[in-house]
Amino acid sequence: MNTLTQKDVEHVFESLRKGLVPERGIDAFAVGIEKQRGELHRQLDLARAGEGTIKFLRGGYGCGKTFMARLALLDAQAQGFATSFVVVSDNDLRFHRFDDVYRKVLTELGTAACPRGAFGDILDRWIGKVEDKLVASGEDEEAPDFDDKVRRRLDEDLAA
């Protein structure tokens, strides 16, 4: 269990007062769900090994679906995964509207370092790693064609 900061404690209590699942600090009171959490960790292990995986949570109103989803998101981010928390419903976001779902997934993309809106951060880090590898292999980052080399390497990575 992680130690909560005073700010996290206040966030948890304020969220609960509003009837919402807190976005952080919930692992401090996640009890009695070891079996379900073990299954979520198994799914993360599969994803880490390169296996495609999906898990649906279903149940009645108030049974803890959102809590489990938020907990899974925090566990995944703690293990280095990028995550996206998107609620699909008839009232808000309909599953058959792929463009809307895709836009929402990218908008809500998060990492441990950037909990929401991390798409730009992820791209920046990827490009930075490509640039670092090129420099490490002897390329001059001041050369006029360096950006073209970065672009080509990005294209190669995407094609792989």
pLDDT of residue 51: 92
Residue ranges of the chain whose pLDDT lies below 50: 1
Query: What is the predicted pLDDT for the residue at 89?
Result: 76
Same domain assignment for residues 61 and 101: no
Query: Are residues 106 and 119 in contact, defined by beta-carbon separation less than 8 angstroms?
Result: yes
- Considering the entire predicted model, what is its pTM? 0.73
User: Is residue 57 within 8 Å of 65, Cβ to Cβ?
Assistant: yes
Which two tokens mark 113? 């370092």
Task: Work out the angle between the directed axes of helices 119-136 and 146-159 (0-180°, nearest 10).
Answer: 110
pLDDT in tens, 66-104: 899 999 999 999 999 999 988 877 788 788 888 988 898
Asked whether residue 39 falls in the same domain as residue 111, the answer is no
| Separation between Cα atoms, residue 120 and residue 47, nearest integer Å | 23
- 6 shares its domain with 65: yes
Residues 18 and 73 in one domain: yes
Query: Do 71 and 9 share a domain, yes or no?
Result: yes
pLDDT of amino acid 2: 61
CA 18 to CA 5: how far, in whole Å? 20
Task: Report the distance separating Cα 103 and Cα 39, nearest Å.
Answer: 28
Total domain count, the chain: 3
What domain range is 92 assigned to?
A: 84-117
Q: Alpha-carbon distance 109 to 81, whole Å?
A: 10
